[in-house]
Structure 1
Amino acid sequence: MTATRPAAAPPQQTFGTAGVAPMERPSLVTRFFMSVVAWAERLNLRCSKVGNPPVYDNATFPWAREIENDWHLIRAELDPLLQRQQDLPSFHELSSDVKTISTDSAWKTFFLTGYGVSSERNIAQCPDTWRVVQRIPGLKTAMFSIFEPGKHLPAHRGPYNGVLRLHLGLIVPEAAPGQLAIRVDRQVCHWEEGKALIFDDAYEHEAWNHTDRTRVVLFVDFVKPLRFPARLVNWLLLNLAVFTPFIREGMDNQKAWEKRFYEQAEALRNRRA
């Protein structure tokens, strides 16, 4: 990963993104949960064990080197999945809140686990990937993130700063300057195959692939190291997340997609037999 770091004032996390529509008419329970999350985010900023930069030095997390060392095993399991790339779900088809930033079919995903919910059938396709990500302390989500040519994800911020994000470059096309990158706050970073990029997605960020080839990363969220009492509050919120409408809807959508995907695969095998 390389990053451009212009001299500027210290970065500040904001709690919204200009130009991104808020969720329409959230329920009373959802509004209460969101107010608790806003309070917890302020606590997390005060209690971080690793500071609050937009982009982290990988040396902050020694296990990142181990993940990089086995990147070729993950890449080997990705290649067969891309043979059915057009059948993979677009991100917004699984998580409807993503529709505020992406509604086309150019951002696809292959889900392994998220907030205590795992896809056993998808994991069975990627046993080495699953073994490798188990080394990440506080693993919360793991999936492949597939940016097809021309995709531009507009500026937005993640829903909660109690987790940090890792992108492990798996397929990174050669690109002219500015064609393929991710901006986190004021830092423009470039993916590299076999290299980890660790950042805080609670800062405004955007990503783009203006090349003519697909870019793929392993997309992981893990628990941000925090001091007490933020560590306890964070644990409670992350374990309650599975009961929110966003996660439950995503679970249902993932199960429906899996049923179609593997039924189609079985039908294809039967025709070839």
Structure 2
Amino acid sequence: MDRGEKLLRWFETLIARHSLMGDATFFDPQQFSWIADIEANWQTIRGELDNVLQHTDELPNFQDISTDQYNLTKDDRWKTYFFCAYGVKARPNCDRCPETTRLIEQIPGMKTAFFSILLPHKHIPEHRGPYKGVLRYHLGLRIPEPKEKCRIRVDKDIRHWEEGKSLVFDDSFYHEAWNETDSVRVILFLDFVRPLSFPLSVVNQIFLKLIAWSPFVQDAKKNQQQWDKRLETLMNRKSEKTS
């Protein structure tokens, strides 16, 4: 472990101590006031998702956007539709889903948002997020049955997604996910700034800005922009064939 990694892990121990939500694998969604509005509008979000899913084959894989994830996933069964990544907005995608965009932009400290699409029999192996200064949110949008075969494990705790229901967890714990069904599983996937006491909250914001300027985020931004152009071309071509 190099010096930068050691510093980051030391800072994460401070985050655990000063988190206003405590230090846990999963959190009660009722701790976050904004979640009620998201859940109340989940069918609106799913309506926009259904339009996106008409172009599933044309959507980028997770590793197409974030190339450092090739060790995590190499096949074509984890599709993505990004709205925002570390504060960088994918405007064409947002324009196609205006209500979803409006809702997620009201979330305090929202940093990353996308539709996470797991095709049948996809397993995301154990991994951990890069930094404890954010929390992760999942909203179930299309969850196949049986739910026992569509699940996520965070450390030793297992949860199942449900349509219109939320999960909040700390992705700095090792976690993995499964869709062992014959259908597609889709969630709205968000990262938002972890509520911390002052002055650690200020330091956390600085860390997050540094991450946003890092080469891996900037490379992902370029990849997303290239996919924006490609996706628009493919969607237009598909529309012309069906018209």
TM-score, length-scaled by structure 2: 0.95
Instruction: Deviation per CA, 1:146-204: give whole Å up to 9, x if none.
Output: 00001001111111000000000000001163x11001111110000000111110111
Aligned to 2:160: 190
Shift in Å, 1:266: 2.8
In the aligned structure 1, how far is the partner of 2:147 from the partner of 2:78? Answer: 21
SS at match of 1:170: strand
Aligned to 2:36: 65
Q: How does 1:215-254 map to 2 (within 5 A)?
A: 215-254=185-224
Q: Which amino acid aligns with 2:76?
A: S
Q: Which amino acid aligns with 1:115?
A: Y
Shift in Å, 1:50: 0.7
Task: Tell whether the 8 Å contact from 2:58 to 2:234 is kept in structure 1 after alignment.
Answer: no
Aligned to 2:94: 123
Unpaired runs of at least 5, structure 2: none
Q: Which amino acid aligns with 1:113?
A: C
Aligned to 2:49: 78
In the aligned structure 1, how far is the partner of 2:147 from the partner of 2:21? Answer: 33
State the Cα RMSD in Å: 1.6
In the aligned structure 1, how far is the partner of 2:88 from the partner of 2:207? Answer: 15
CA 215–269 in structure 1, closer or farther in 2 if over 3 Å, else same: closer
Q: Which amino acid aligns with 1:55?
A: F
Q: Which amino acid aligns with 1:195?
A: K
In the aligned structure 2, how far is the partner of 1:41 from the partner of 1:244? Answer: 19
Q: How does 1:1-273 map to 2 (within 5 A)?
A: 33-175=4-146, 177=148, 179-270=149-240
SS at match of 2:101: helix
In the aligned structure 2, how far is the partner of 1:114 from the partner of 1:76? Answer: 22
Count of residues in Structure 1 that have an aligned counterpart in Structure 2: 243
Q: Which amino acid aligns with 1:237?
A: F
In the aligned structure 2, how far is the partner of 1:128 from the partner of 1:235? Answer: 27
Shift in Å, 1:265: 2.4
Shift in Å, 1:71: 0.4
Task: Tell whether the 8 Å contact from 1:40 to 1:233 is kept in structure 2 after alignment.
Answer: no
SS at match of 2:43: helix
Shift in Å, 1:32: 5.8
Shift in Å, 1:268: 3.9
SS at match of 1:227: coil
Shift in Å, 1:272: 5.9
Among all aligned residue pairs of Structure 1 and Structure 2, give the percentage whose two residues are the same amino acid: 44
SS at match of 1:100: coil
CA 260–223 in structure 1, closer or farther in 2 if over 3 Å, else same: same
Q: Which moved more, 1:32-41 or 1:55-64?
A: 32-41
In the aligned structure 2, how far is the partner of 1:77 from the partner of 1:117? Answer: 21
Unpaired runs of at least 5, structure 1: 1-21, 23-30
| Rg comparison, structure with higher value | 1
In the aligned structure 1, how far is the partner of 2:152 from the partner of 2:240? Answer: 42
SS at match of 2:191: strand
TM-score, length-scaled by structure 1: 0.85
